[in-house]
Amino acid sequence: MKTKIFTSPSAQLETPCLVAVVVDRGEKDKTEVIVSTEERAVADAAAELISTGDLSGKNFELSWLYHPRGLKAERLLLIGGGKASRFTPSELRKVAGAAVRALKSRSLRSLAFLLPQTISPSEAARAVVEGAVVGDFDPDTYKSDRKDQKIGELTLVARGDDPMLERAAEEARIIAESQNFTRELVNEPSNHMTPTMLANRARLMAQETGLRSETYGADKIRELKMGAFWGVAQGSDEPPALIILRHEPAGAPQTPVLGLVGKGITFDTGGISIKPADGMEKMKYDMAGGATMLGTMRALALLGARVKVVAIVCATENMPSGKAQKPGDIQTAMSGKTIEIINTDAEGRLVLADGLSYARQLGCTHLVDAATLTGAVVVALGYTNAGIFSNDDQMCQRFQKATERAGEKMWRLPLDDEYREQIKSGIADIMNTGGRWGGAITAAMFLKEFAEETPWIHLDIAGTAWMEDGKPWIAKGPSGIAVRSLVEFVKGFANS
d(CA 257, CA 362): 9
374 contributes a contact to ligand BES by CB under 6 A: yes
| 349 a catalytic residue | yes
H/E stretch holding 80 reads strand 75-83
Closest-approach residue to ligand BES (CB):
375
d(CA 325, CA 306): 42
91 contributes a contact to Mn ion by CB under 5 A: no
439 interface partner picked from ligand BES, Mn ion, Zn ion, none, CB below 5 to 8 A per type: ligand BES
H/E stretch holding 183 reads helix 163-187
Q: How far is the CB of 287 from Mn ion (least distance, A)?
A: 12
477 contributes a contact to ligand BES by CB under 6 A: no
d(CA 432, CA 330): 10
CA distances from 241 to 38, 221, 263, 308, 452 (A): 55, 8, 11, 23, 24
268 contributes a contact to Mn ion by CB under 5 A: yes
Contacts (CB under 6 A) with ligand BES, residues 220-259? none
Contacts (CB under 5 A) with Zn ion, residues 283-302? 286
Near Zn ion by CB under 5 A, which window of 26-34, 90-98, 171-179, 266-274? Answer: 266-274
462 contributes a contact to ligand BES by CB under 6 A: yes
Q: Choose the catalytic residue: 72, 225, 246, 275.
A: 275
Contacts (CB under 6 A) with ligand BES, residues 394-433? 433
Q: How far is the CB of 435 from ligand BES (least distance, A)?
A: 9
Q: Which of 21, 76, 102, 376 binds ligand BES (CB under 6 A)?
A: 376
236 interface partner picked from Zn ion, ligand BES, Mn ion, none, CB below 5 to 8 A per type: none
24 contributes a contact to Mn ion by CB under 5 A: no
Contacts (CB under 5 A) with Mn ion, residues 347-386? 347
Residue 447 neighbours by CB under 8 Å, 6+ apart: 349, 352, 353, 356, 369, 389, 456, 458
Per DSSP, 108 falls in state -
* Contact present, 464 and 385 (Cβ < 8 Å): yes
352 contributes a contact to ligand BES by CB under 6 A: no
343 contributes a contact to ligand BES by CB under 6 A: yes
348 contributes a contact to Zn ion by CB under 5 A: yes
| Half-sphere exposure of residue 303: CA atoms within 13 angstroms, side-chain side | 29
Q: Are strands 18-24 and 33-35 parallel, antiparallel or unpaired?
A: antiparallel
Nearest 5°: CA angle at 270, between 265 and 271? 95
348 contributes a contact to ligand BES by CB under 6 A: yes
Three-state DSSP at 52 gives coil
| 220 a catalytic residue | no
Residues touching Mn ion, count (CB under 5 A): 3
Give bridge partners of residue 371 from the DSSP assignment.
Answer: 460
CA 238 to chain centre: 27
Q: Which of 136, 138, 177, 345 binds Mn ion (CB under 5 A)?
A: 345
d(CA 496, CA 493): 5
* Contact present, 369 and 456 (Cβ < 8 Å): yes
Closer CB to Mn ion, residue 59 or residue 269?
269
d(CA 307, CA 454): 18
Q: Choose the catalytic residue: 93, 349, 360, 491.
A: 349
Would you name the residues annotated as active-site residues? 275, 349
Interface contacts to ligand BES, rule CB under 6 A: 268, 286, 343, 345-348, 372-376, 433, 439, 462
Interface contacts to Zn ion, rule CB under 5 A: 265, 268, 286, 348
